[in-house]
Amino acid sequence: MFVLGIESSCDETGVALVESGASGLPRLAAHALHSQIAMHQAYGGVVPELASRDHIRRVLPLAQAVLSEAGRPLADIDVVAYTRGPGLAGALLVGAGVACALGAALGKPVLGVHHLEGHLLSPFLSADPPEFPFVALLVSGGHTQLMRVDGVGRYELLGETIDDAAGEAFDKSAKLMGLPYPGGPWLAKLAEEGDATAFKLPRPLLHSGDLDFSFAGLKTAVLTQARKLGAELEARKADLAASTQAAIVDVLLKKSLAAIERTGLDRLVVAGGVGANRALREQLDAACAKRGVRVHYPELHLCTDNGAMIAMAAAMRLQAGLGPASERYAFDVKPRWPLASLCATEPQFG
């Protein structure tokens, strides 16, 4: 079975083809990705209308490139999967519309996929895939969550952010320092040159006793420190970046270890764009090695939004008897869609 996956939830257009059998993990046949970073840089952030228009231009050429790379004709597609939510409504509608039109033209079923479930299952695309059960740390620009994962569709929310996500903390702090968009990667790169102990920044909810996160207060502390530095900010920017990254990583690390201890599990999966952060990976690897805990990540090029994770999630859901794929081509999207709702076997359509 071949599953074509389309991702268009925000500012990246991704298309991928995954091959799935009756047993064993689905295999990635080909994927292609277009990032809109250059287009949005002039505005300092994502402009939803521009994002939607660019998805329209990119999705079909990317699909053609994927099928060409895989050496498969259009007729070989068995299921068309797409990101149904969460994300920007207009951007989601592009992927949903193309997927359902393609499914209708081919007479093949379609399947709406949860964006975060795509991230959650993306490490199964790696050379070192995890095994169920595991604790998952989902860290992206808009989401920070800890989940217990017992199988496909069997998720328990352990904790989540009550305000800003970790990715937002990186991006907003970077913007306060005058770094280019998208700020997170720039901040992480600059942090390599700085002293992580130079500024004492807060670790919100670190000792709260629960597994929830909060990063809005950290952003405010960075703003306050930047204003205090004034003209000195340029000279101390690397130190402030390093101190900011250290605070974010410290909270993610300690909460993840607490989730491991609380659940008694010995596997941790880290997914989402922030999962590519080198400092986070290094500290998680070191801390988990001491505790005999295996850590799994998606490949670096699959940490950001991409079609491969959507195709993979769809293939794994179908393999597990979940979904189901539908031959109804009327579609809707869910800009706000809690991942925990999938545990209730919510129908994909209707």
Whole-angstrom Cα distance, residue 176 to residue 287?
31
Of 128, 152, 87, the closest CA to residue 270 belongs to 128
What CATH homologous superfamily does 131-297 map to?
A: ATPase, nucleotide binding domain (3.30.420.40)
Residue 22's pLDDT is 76
> What pLDDT, on a 0 to 100 scale, did the predictor assign at position 23?
78
CA dihedral angle for residue 318, residue 322, residue 328, residue 332, rounded to 10 degrees: -110
Q: Residue 342 has what pLDDT?
A: 81
Among 4-13, 239-248, 309-318, 339-348, which stretch is predicted with the lowest mean pLDDT? 339-348
- pLDDT in the model for residue 328: 83
- Looking at residue 69, its pLDDT comes to 98
- pLDDT digit string (tens) for 234-274? 999 999 999 999 999 999 999 999 999 999 999 999 999 99
Mean pLDDT over 203-228 rounds to 96
**Which pLDDT does position 272 carry in this prediction?**
94
The yes-or-no verdict on residue 326 having pLDDT over 80 is: no
Helical spans, DSSP H, in the chain: 37-40, 48-70, 89-106, 115-121, 166-176, 183-191, 216-229, 233-263, 278-290, 307-319
Give the dihedral sign, CA 112/113/115/116: positive
Span 279-319, pLDDT tens digits: 999 999 999 999 999 999 999 999 999 999 999 999 999 99
Scored b (16 or more CB within 10 A) or e, 85-95 reads bbbbebbbbbb
Whole-number percent of the chain with pLDDT over 70:
97
What's the pLDDT score for residue 345?
43
Q: Regarding the domain delimited by 2-121+303-344, which CATH topology (the fold level of the hierarchy) does it fall under?
A: Nucleotidyltransferase; domain 5 (3.30.420)
pLDDT confidence tier of residue 347, bands split at 50, 70 and 90: very low
Structure tokens at 65: 């490139």
pLDDT tens figures, 120-144: 999 999 999 999 999 999 998 789 9
Does pTM top 0.85 for this prediction? yes
Task: Decide if 2-121+303-344 and 131-297 have a common fold.
Answer: yes
Residues 6+ apart with CB under 8 A from 113: 5, 81, 82, 83, 84, 310, 313, 314, 317
What is the pLDDT averaged over residues 191-198?
Answer: 98
- pLDDT of 346 strictly over 90: no
84-88, 171-175, 219-223, 321-325: segment of lowest average pLDDT = 321-325
Residue 216: count other Cβ atoms within 10 Å of its Cβ: 15
Mean pLDDT over the full length of the chain? 94
User: Which pLDDT tens digit goes with each residue over 74-102?
Assistant: 999 999 999 999 999 999 999 999 999 99
Domain coordinates in residue numbering, the chain:
2-121+303-344, 131-297
pLDDT at 344 over 60: no
pLDDT attached to residue 349:
36
